[in-house]
Structure 1
Amino acid sequence: MKQLLFILIFAGLTGFKPASDRHISGTIYDDKNQAFPGVQVTITGTKQGTQTDAKGHYAIDVPAGKSNLTFSFIGFESQTIKIGKSNTLDVHLKASNQTLREVVITGYGIQHRKEITGAVAIVSAPQTDQKYSAPVAGVIAGKNARHYNKSVQMNQIQIMPSPVTDNESYKGINENGFKTVESEPLSTFSVDVDAASYSNVRRFINNGQLPPADAVRIEEMINYFHYNLTGPTNNEPVAIHTELSTAPWNGNHRLLRIGLKAKTIPNDKLPASNLVFLIDVSGSMYEPNKLPLVQSSLKMLVNQLRPQDRVAIVVYAGAAGVVLPATSGDKKTTINNAIDNLQAGGSTAGGAGIKLAYKIALENFMKGGNNRVMLATDGDFNVGASSDDDMEKLIEKERESGISLSVLGFGMGNYKDSKMETLADKGNGNYAYIDNITEARKTLISEFGGTLFTIAKDVKLQVEFNPGKVQAYRLLGYENRALNKEDFNNDKKDAGDMGSGHTVTAFYEIVPAGVKDDYSGSVDPLKYQKPKPVPYTSSSDEMLTIKFRYKQPTSSVSKMSHTEVYDKPVALNSTSTDFRFAAAVAEFGMLLRDSQFKQHSTYDQAIKMARAAKGDDSEGYRAEFIKLAENARLLSPSNKVLAVEE
């Protein structure tokens, strides 16, 4: 009886309420009272956490028994704050010069100076079998470290390995160089609407690391952002726009922007969807920023579905299996429960999973609808077909069924960007890297139509330059999308697709005719044949002609349109804010790649131009970019703070 009375009294004191999570949210500000994106927010004493979004906002569920949150960002003082009675917690972080002085970049990781004996010298890593190389820090032990002599011998230096990206893989990029119009008057490439590179680069920088050069795809950096272009008229699927000015990094060169804008279809007018979620549940996905983030992301997408849409779920680990047959989009509880019940463990039979997902998609094929497999993975396949070449052959075969493949990448450390880029490119789909729930919202809600619904397929551009006006040119980015000139008219040649409302920007850097330049190059005269003179007129104002080719989503025959660009550049400060902001992103990308064509590019110049061209930044993505560029400037080799100057 006494025991029962004790239980009742205890229950009364607790109000019969079981312990539960608290949902804490707020905004982080820097020392200038500006919203601070990319700040790490963790539940003190755990690995559970999140990041602030583009507007500095965060939200996190804190389990019972935990009462502190820790806020941290490189170069700022970390703060651990006790949660009060309110569920809103705003924080101001203060810059810390001491913290910056004590941080040394080691490979792509961070090490604090107190953990290192002696001074630091920056050296170049020896060539390895990795697909990229990185600057690393060496450590010199000794009592006279403070009086370190910069003419140090290599055998005094201990190379510190990268703890973060040893198992990450990126497809090598042979950067586009300048081509002379006399020898190559045509430039041909496939459009690319992917933006995975930008969010992946953001992940590196927000973790206090510069990304490997091959992780920086300049076209994806540029096309991460929304640009205010006018949509097409006369029932055409895509409109084309151009803008010509001076290249910010070389006043003697021109910079041409080609902008494409796809027709926007309201969500309620979009065709029905036959979706198969293909989810990696292998052991490598057993981390907070992998499978749990996948689950949260896909549930956001489920909330957008309509009764006419259908979803099936296929998973793979050591083997592949169906966990949910095709289910109507209005049965959200059923779909979400299936997603919530997923757990990670085992090896990774990605090839088997892809085959099964395409099989399920084909069984539920919707004629005239959006038939798509959505793969969520870190790309670490290790059972069955797993190499990049194996994946390419598999996807090229499966795409003939008329089913597209979209790839959502998650995680870090063993991230296989090269494999996922290949899958999306060959699968007539798109590729996004999801580093936080804000990026998931952008990809799967804000850009829902563009991510899932194709407006124009096999979109190609071909530019013909007038040698009377142009001496040489260079396409910025799109290295993995280059086409042969004869591919432009070949309707069997696969190219990129554009979704509802998508915008695409491409830049050409142009060396005008008559300008003395180091980039045009020269070759010796031919011995066995004389070059035929190319007839042209320098009196024409036409600088170039752009030809644009595409197919309607259900057609196998392409259509073509063209437009001319005249040699009438406008002053840089008179261009649109979109032109200048996109140019700033391009300049930033060249600096991250340490491009041999960066010329007079600087972080200061890119940041200044981006600030002036921020425009109507309603969602805060451009402000986030500016902060990102400022942090990259701190991490760049020319700005590393070394202990030897103490």
Structure 2
Amino acid sequence: MKKLPFYLAALFIILSCEDDYDESQASISEDLNYGMEEIQQTERYTDYGENAFIKTVDQAISTFSVDADGASYANTRRFIELGQKPPTAAVRIEEFLNYFTFDYPEPSNNETISINSEITSCPWTENHYLMRLGMKGLSIPESEIPDANYVFLIDVSGSMGSPEKLELLKTGFKLMVDEMRDTDKIAIVTYAGNAAVLLQSTFGDEKNKIKAAIDQLGSGGSTAGAEGILTAYEIAENNYIPNGNNRIILGSDGDFNVGPSTTHELVELVEEKRDNGIYLTVLGVGSGNLNDSSMEQIANKGNGNYEYIDKLEQLKKVFIHEKGKFYAVAKDAKIQISFNTDIVDSYRLIGYENRSLNEDDFVDDTVDAGEIGSGQTITALYEIIIKDNTPNSSVGIFDFRYKKPNTEESRPLSLTIANSSTSIGESSDNMKFATGVAAFGLLMKDSEFKGNASKDMILELIENSLGADEFGYRTEFRELVSSIEN
């Protein structure tokens, strides 16, 4: 892997040490693209394959956990901006969809989740249909979100020494400090050959003290990730806020190599800790030795979410524009679709391959599932085949279960999915954009189910469905699609 030219590395470090930055600085970081012509193929991903079509006569019920991650999309963007196609195992289409926020209705009737659905024609396979499922977490004003007890868990091992890793994380964490309220608390735990507490839990009215601690961070040594995780949980537990926002935010390239370091061992570790009311967000950074497989699984099993940080604009998305996601309004959120066998011949869930659940898991409140943050939207798509000459009845039932924060009993929601479809061109902006994103994922995965999906099809789908696009993420997606080869 080629190193950054010295002047670019120096510029990046200078930018990362600033408390604030403007659009011009962000654009400079986008131009850097780490200065690499190609990524070393030592990054680790897990290939979960693809969901196949299932006949409803064989299995009419489909059950899976929500997935609030967005890392796969940002990581794919990194590959494309470097002129490369991502490894197919790096593409998780559900994370493409859930990178974006959709215009779904707010919850009502004392619920913290709303659900909706829509059916339209499938543009990449004739005579097939797409069924969209939408979910939204309650948008809570910042002043009403409970006080936070954050622990920054930061990898400072030798592999984190490049500017696009530790320096980028330092910039992000300082952005988050700026967003803190005086009654929020932050502690900082670091790990290399062993774990250390750099900063005991400190209230947000001491921002300069917290930033000074962040500025001290430097890299060197091996990577005792398990020890760091244990220390972070200990600090979080010691400062636990009942009914508060208790969360560990782990920043790493995932290159764990000291002590318990396999994905299985680390997953077991966070599974032991997840029932104590502390959530886990995992932030992946860097290239070459990125262990995407491990970090994605740690987040999934640790009551949390996984994001990839590739540039300054992504820092703003995670730490400022969508900071409500750091407060979960729903946990152990599950979806179950009961298809009408008189209407639906077969179906295929697009993505969510590693989030499937057994049918009985849906009503079992001891089974772990996904979390949804304040104001966050979750989207899932099924490709379905409808029988000829079917009666005008429902396609099926959309059942949803979740737990409110600080409760252990799930709440059911249910929606009948009407057997009424539109052409894709007449569908909602939500449907058109989701379909375009899914088609992009099919192309990036070189899916056997991609049918006639193409660059031109995607651009046509999203051109008039960008919506308000307050922060420009949909516009950036259009530019990303435009940059790929046909």
User: Where on the TM-score scale, by shorter chain, does this alignment land: which range?
Assistant: over 0.9
CA RMSD of the aligned region, Å?
2.1
User: Which residue of structure 1 aligns with residue 15 of structure 2?
Assistant: none
Determine the C-alpha separation between the residues in 1 that align with 2:31 and 2:158. 29
User: Which residue of structure 1 aligns with residue 373 of structure 2?
Assistant: 499
| Residue deviations 1:152-183 (CA, integer Å, cap 9, x gap) | xxxxxxxxxxx623220011122001000000
User: Which residue of structure 2 aligns with residue 413 of structure 1?
Assistant: 288
Matches within 5 A, 1:560-639: 560-633=412-485
Task: Specify which of 539, 542, 551 is matched with residue 391 of structure 2.
Answer: 539
Matches within 5 A, 1:231-630: 231-450=106-325, 452-514=326-388, 539-630=391-482
Contact 1:193 1:430 in 2 (8 A): yes
Give the Å deviation of 1:478: 0.5
Q: What secondary structure, in the 3-state scheme, does the structure 1 residue paired with 2:58 have?
A: coil
Structure of greater Rg: 1
Task: Specify which of 55, 59, 64 is matched with residue 180 of structure 1.
Answer: 55
| Residue deviations 1:561-606 (CA, integer Å, cap 9, x gap) | 2111111101211111121011001001001101011111112111
What code does the residue aligned with 2:433 have? F
Determine the C-alpha separation between the residues in 2 that align with 1:279 and 1:70. 24
Give the Å deviation of 1:70: 12
What code does the residue aligned with 1:269 have? E
Q: What secondary structure, in the 3-state scheme, does the structure 1 residue paired with 2:310 have?
A: coil
User: Which residue of structure 2 aligns with residue 140 of structure 1?
Assistant: none
Give the Å deviation of 1:618: 2.9
Paired residues in the alignment total 473
User: Which residue of structure 2 aligns with residue 194 of structure 1?
Assistant: 69
Give the Å deviation of 1:401: 2.0
Change (3 A) 1:618 1:43: farther
User: Which residue of structure 1 aligns with residue 16 of structure 2?
Assistant: none
Change (3 A) 1:60 1:477: closer
Determine the C-alpha separation between the residues in 1 that align with 2:246 and 2:470. 33
Q: What secondary structure, in the 3-state scheme, does the structure 2 residue paired with 1:245 have?
A: strand
Contact 2:138 2:329 in 1 (8 A): yes
User: Which residue of structure 2 aligns with residue 206 of structure 1?
Assistant: 81
Give the Å deviation of 1:616: 2.2
Q: What secondary structure, in the 3-state scheme, does the structure 2 residue paired with 1:471 have?
A: strand
Contact 1:408 1:434 in 2 (8 A): yes
Q: What secondary structure, in the 3-state scheme, does the structure 1 residue paired with 2:109 have?
A: coil
Matches within 5 A, 1:97-116: 110=37
Determine the C-alpha separation between the residues in 2 that align with 1:601 and 1:209. 20
| Residue deviations 1:265-299 (CA, integer Å, cap 9, x gap) | 00111001111110000000000101111110000
Q: What secondary structure, in the 3-state scheme, does the structure 1 residue paired with 2:163 have?
A: coil
| Residue deviations 1:116-174 (CA, integer Å, cap 9, x gap) | xxxxxxxxxxxxxxxxxxxxxxxxxxxxxxxxxxxxxxxxxxxxxxx623220011122
| Residue deviations 1:341-400 (CA, integer Å, cap 9, x gap) | 111011100011001111111111111111111101010001111101011111101212
Name the % identity: 43
Change (3 A) 1:587 1:270: same
| Residue deviations 1:283-342 (CA, integer Å, cap 9, x gap) | 000001011111100000011111211111110001111011111111100000000011
User: Which residue of structure 1 aligns with residue 94 of structure 2?
Assistant: 219
What code does the residue aligned with 1:496 have? G
Q: What secondary structure, in the 3-state scheme, does the structure 1 residue paired with 2:43 have?
A: coil
Q: What secondary structure, in the 3-state scheme, does the structure 2 residue paired with 1:430 have?
A: strand
Contact 1:349 1:383 in 2 (8 A): yes
Give the Å deviation of 1:251: 2.7
Contact 1:49 1:60 in 2 (8 A): no
Give unmatched runs, 5+ long, in structure 2: 13-21
Change (3 A) 1:44 1:308: closer
Q: What secondary structure, in the 3-state scheme, does the structure 2 residue paired with 1:510 have?
A: strand
Determine the C-alpha separation between the residues in 2 that align with 1:200 and 1:574. 32
Contact 2:277 2:406 in 1 (8 A): no
TM-score (norm 1): 0.71
Determine the C-alpha separation between the residues in 2 that align with 1:275 and 1:626. 35
Give unmatched runs, 5+ long, in structure 1: 1-41, 51-55, 63-68, 79-108, 111-162, 516-537, 634-638, 640-646
Q: What secondary structure, in the 3-state scheme, does the structure 1 residue paired with 2:126 have?
A: strand
Change (3 A) 1:546 1:352: same
Change (3 A) 1:276 1:566: same
Q: What secondary structure, in the 3-state scheme, does the structure 1 residue paired with 2:44 have?
A: coil
Give the Å deviation of 1:208: 0.8
What code does the residue aligned with 1:468 have? D
Q: What secondary structure, in the 3-state scheme, does the structure 2 residue paired with 1:233 have?
A: coil
Change (3 A) 1:420 1:71: closer
Bigger relative CO (Cα 8 Å, ≥ 6 apart):
2
TM-score (norm 2): 0.94
Determine the C-alpha separation between the residues in 1 that align with 2:324 and 2:30. 37
Contact 2:8 2:32 in 1 (8 A): no
